[in-house]
Amino acid sequence: MNKNILVTGGLGYIGSHTCVELISAGYTPIILDDLSNCKESVHARIQTITQKNNIPFVRGDVCNRNLLDNIFSEYKPLAVMHFAGSKAVGESIQKPLLYYRNNLETTLSLLETMQNYNVKSFIFSSSATVYGEDNTPPLVEDMKTGSVTNPYGRTKYMIEEILKDLHIAEKDWSITILRYFNPVGADASAMIGEDPNGVPNNLMPYIAKVASGELSELKIFGNDYNTADGTGIRDYIHVTDLAKGHVAALEKKGEESGLHIYNLGTGNGLSVMEVLKSYQETSGVTIPYIITGRRDGDLAASYACADKARQELGWSAKKNIHDMTLDSWNWIKSGNS
Ligand code: NAD
Ligand code: UDP
């Protein structure tokens, strides 16, 4: 039986780890990626990790309708997992049109093509950012969304709204929105991981580059928040746990019509200082840091209520912060990035 799943952005950070988990669960990801934010070598690495050498990879833009037609005709995917998009908050403020174009147009092109080919199962990469500033953690799926502060976050909110409208019109579709908290770490093989262009914006890849000596010190953005040690709190989740959450969503909800929304987080908040301490312990490297002012738009604390995914998908995150920092460090040390 055909177990093809179209995975857009499948050579990127989260997509590549999800391809590994899909293959391990017996699916064949059909990877579509334009290589705008990843390396083609990730394709071979996915195949090496999973010991499968026939995983299709198509290089191209998800906005290219002719290409989508060819892919849907040839591979007849059962479902679509949509990771492709632009994801840097700061860049989205500088280049809002690029973000609206890439994130909205990829999604609309895919959904319209799915309609044409009668494919009705869609899993979307959303973000905890849609909860915005007005909710108090732990964040629960039915809280009000939308008070987002930047174009990137607005694209996620807008796509969620588009999917809610689609669900009203197309009752027989299965639409799953997964709201990721803070994905970190790397595959245990250290063959794939996060490989940001330039200076990282996110905490864990930044710490990794300080630990490896590529950057001189970590700047901690504020220690005057109303938190136990004054630094910001987030819900860090190992990328392999996150990837397994996609397989759980596909298996539990991919054939059940309706709109399904889940947080993918651990349910535990950790401060910047706690992450830093763990990284120092696992790497054995002393990581220099300074305290600077708060970063614009940052929240004091954001973490998930992880109950719904556990109850309905039978999924919960298994890896702890030690696993996350150790796999990040092993990935950096491997020289595979
Ligand atoms: P990533 O940049 O590593 O992966 C995205 C992939 O999509 C890249 O390989 C890129 O080359 C590809 N791509 C971009 N535009 C494309 C297009 N038009 N056509 C074809 N390919 C295209 O990002 P990621 O961290 O793996 O994130 C995946 C998804 O998860 C994104 O939608 C992102 O917004 C969302 N998300 C990420 C995080 C995070 O912290 N990493 C948090 C919440 C949500
Ligand atoms: N952070 C920091 N220095 C950095 C990057 C991030 O102190 O160089 C802090 C940031 O203020 C937040 C936490 O680390 O409290 C996580 O930031 P990240 O950008 O990784 O995730 P997000 O804020 O988007 O959830």
What residues does 122 pair with on adjacent strands?
A: 80, 175
Q: What is the CA radius of gyration of the chain?
A: 19
Identify the DSSP state of 104: I
Contacts (Cβ under 8 Å, ≥6 apart) of 329: 208, 211, 279, 282, 283
Q: Which two tokens stand for residue 64?
A: 């290219």
The CA 225 to ligand 2 mean position distance, Å, reads 13
Q: Which residues contact 185 (CB under 8 A, 6 or more apart)?
A: 193, 204, 238, 239, 240, 319, 323, 324, 325, 327, 328, 331
Are 153 and 87 in contact by the 8 Å Cβ rule? The answer is no
User: Which of 8, 83, 131, 337 for a ligand 1 pocket mutation test, highest count of atoms within 8 Å of Cβ?
Assistant: 83
The conformation of residue 131, written as its DSSP 8-state character, comes to: G
- Tokens for 192? 């794939």
Q: Best of 33, 82, 176 to mutate for ligand 1, by most ligand atoms within 8 A of CB?
A: 33
Closest CA to 245 of 13, 18, 9: 18
**Nearest 5°: phi and psi at 181?**
-90, -120
The number of C-alpha atoms within 13 Å of 182 and in the hemisphere containing its C-beta is 23
What is each CA distance from 290 to 97, 217, 272, in whole angstroms?
Answer: 35, 7, 12
Is the pLDDT assigned to residue 319 strictly greater than 80?
yes
Q: What pTM value is reported for the model?
A: 0.98
- CA distances 230 to 223, 226, 290, Å, are 4, 6, 14
202 within ligand 2 shell (Cβ under 6 A): yes
Residue 152 known to be catalytic: yes
**In contact, 196 and 268? CB cutoff 8 Å:** no
Instruction: Give the list of residues 6+ apart from residue 138 with CB closer than 8 angstroms, or none.
Output: 267, 303, 304, 305
**Six-digit token string for 152:** 């990137």
| Atom of ligand 2 minimally distant from the CA of 302 | 25
Average pLDDT value for the chain: 97
Q: Report the separation in Å between the CA atom of 304 and the middle of ligand 1, taken as the mean of its atom positions.
A: 21
Of 180, 181, 188, the residue nearest 329 (C-alpha):
188
Predicted pLDDT at 337: 82
- The tens digit of pLDDT for each residue in 95-134 reads 999 999 999 999 999 999 999 999 999 999 999 999 998 9
* pLDDT band per the 50, 70, 90 thresholds, residue 197: confident
Percent of the chain with pLDDT over 90: 96
Residue of 152, 157, 236, 262 marked active site: 152
pLDDT at position 4 is 98
Residue 107: CB within 6 Å of ligand 1? no
Q: What is the mean pLDDT of residues 7-36?
A: 98
Over range 147-161, report the average pLDDT: 96
- Please name the amino acid found at residue 169: A
Q: 180-211: b or e for each residue (b if 16 or more CB lie within 10 Å)?
A: bbbbbbbbebbbbbbbbeeebebbbbbbbbbb
Percent of the chain with pLDDT over 70: 100
Separation of alpha carbons 334 and 330, rounded Å: 6
Q: Is 65 exposed, middle or buried (0-12, 13-18, 19+ CB in 10 A)?
A: middle
pLDDT digits (tens, 9 = 90+) for 62-104: 999 999 999 999 999 999 999 999 999 999 999 999 999 999 9
